[in-house]
Amino acid sequence: MPRKTIRFMDLRIQDPRARKRLLEAVSRVFRHGVFLLGPEVAELEKRVAARCGRKFAVGVSSGTDALLFTLKTFGVGPGDEVIIPALSWIATANAVAMAGARPVFADIGDDLNISPSSAERLITPRTKVLMPVHYTGKICAMEDLSRIARARGLALIEDASQAFGARRGGRPAGSFGDAACFSLNPMKVFAACGEAGIVLTDRADIAERLGVLRYNGMVNRETCLEPSLNGRLDTLQAALLLARLGDVDAIIAKRRKIAAWYDERLKGKVGTPRQSSKEQDCYYTYTIRTPERDRLKAFLEARGVEARVRDPYLMPEQPAYRRGAKGEFPNAKRLAGRLLCLPAHEKLSRSDVSRVCGLIDRFFEGAD
Ligand SMILES: *Cc1c(COP(=O)(O)O)cnc(C)c1O
């Protein structure tokens, strides 16, 4: 009898209480009928800003839009360079390119996050923004990056899409940069039931301009200040997010527990994520490294365990960017072929994790 598949991700909402709460939230929106920028959007903005210790939050239609609009509010455009890590979801580079600027790809460290020294070496007179990504749900070395940004007069924008709820030195993701962008899409740790994103900042001028950019550059119903797109956050998604906000800490606690179970069983067999005492990762993914990556993935999948290569290509090696990609990223190149994400979502049980680890043991014992 084949055993049940251990899914990499399980986005179904099957718990009756959770489902009821979400349906009630939808129902309230149906009753008031303000589907665009309704009261739930403002309420979510207020709650997320407070949670991350920020003055302002602006809800937008996706994480990609969050990045694009934010880059534009900092005046990024043609002729400018934005330094980003070589390893991320492609939206990070696309937002820079769609703003009309050039992405410059920095190397990553062993934490899989942008290397501050590599980023610093790539600064030119054209560099306008440093945009680190908290990859896998681990916050970057923000002390070093802030120091570099300040010294060189650059804006610092966090792509915190994978790190909602993560902390570093007690401070939450989204509280470090001049602005911080989150994707709240269904795969993220704090997730809508469709596309959604949010931007945080302490600067009133930035928040105000984001409000204009997310709605066709309109300041009111009459006046368009600058060309833009329509990228508002849906009231329905905001309502669903509000209904889920209270669960985020429990979700992260469970993911951290799963990570600890994996750490304990896998140490010495594969490279496991490292976490210093000042870091509290949210484990958007639990990413291991091994030179046997492709064989291990096939072995697991043949036995009912879904494992994923999250970003199989570095961004500068994508067809869209590889011609003349600017940057330096030897460590990223070395690591890219070794990374594998194991199932680590909060619905897994200890015995699920145990089964995955048992299979990894068998793989390294040479079982076939
Ligand atoms: C998910 C993600 C995005 C894009 O978010 P969308 O909401 O899917 O547009 C951007 N950057 C990173 C690092 C992400 O993981």
Q: Give the predicted TM-score (pTM) of the model.
A: 0.97
Would you state the pLDDT for residue 107? 98
Would you state the pLDDT for residue 368? 62
Q: Is 64 in the pocket of ligand 1 (CB under 6 A)?
A: yes
Are the CB atoms for 134 and 107 separated by under 8 Å?
A: no
Cβ-based neighbour number of residue 290 at 10 Å: 19
Specify the ligand 1 atom closest to the Cα of 133.
13
Would you state the pLDDT for residue 220? 86
Q: Give the residues across from 38 on adjacent strands.
A: none
Distance CA 208, CA 306 (A): 43
Which phi and psi (to 5°) does residue 72 adopt?
-65, -35
Q: Whose CA is nearest to atom 5 of ligand 1?
A: 63
Q: What kind and span of H or E run contains 121?
A: helix 116-121
Instruction: Give CA separation, 93 vs 178, 286, 319, 334, in Å.
Output: 19, 23, 13, 20
Q: Is 235 in the pocket of ligand 1 (CB under 6 A)?
A: no
Would you state the pLDDT for residue 2? 59
Distance CA 360, CA 300 (A): 8
Which phi and psi (to 5°) does residue 338 adopt?
-115, -10
Would you state the pLDDT for residue 79? 97
Q: Is 73 in the pocket of ligand 1 (CB under 6 A)?
A: no
Q: Is 161 in the pocket of ligand 1 (CB under 6 A)?
A: yes
Longest dimension (CA), the chain: 69
Specify the ligand 1 atom closest to the Cα of 65.
9
Pocket test for ligand 1, best of 67, 68, 161 (most atoms within 8 A of CB): 161
Would you state the pLDDT for residue 184? 98
Would you state the pLDDT for residue 3? 77
Centre of ligand 1 to C-alpha 164, Å, is 12
Centre of ligand 1 to C-alpha 193, Å, is 15
Q: Is 159 in the pocket of ligand 1 (CB under 6 A)?
A: yes
DSSP one-letter code for 343: P
Q: Is 133 in the pocket of ligand 1 (CB under 6 A)?
A: yes
Are the CB atoms for 45 and 167 separated by under 8 Å?
A: no
Centre of ligand 1 to C-alpha 66, Å, is 9
* pLDDT < 70: residue spans in the chain: 1-2, 367-368
Instruction: Give CA separation, 305 vs 261, 268, 356, in Å.
Output: 17, 21, 7
Specify the ligand 1 atom closest to the Cα of 183.
7
Are the CB atoms for 166 and 137 separated by under 8 Å?
A: yes
Q: Whose CA is nearest to atom 2 of ligand 1?
A: 161
Centre of ligand 1 to C-alpha 1, Å, is 39
Distance CA 16, CA 223 (A): 46
Q: Whose CA is nearest to atom 14 of ligand 1?
A: 161
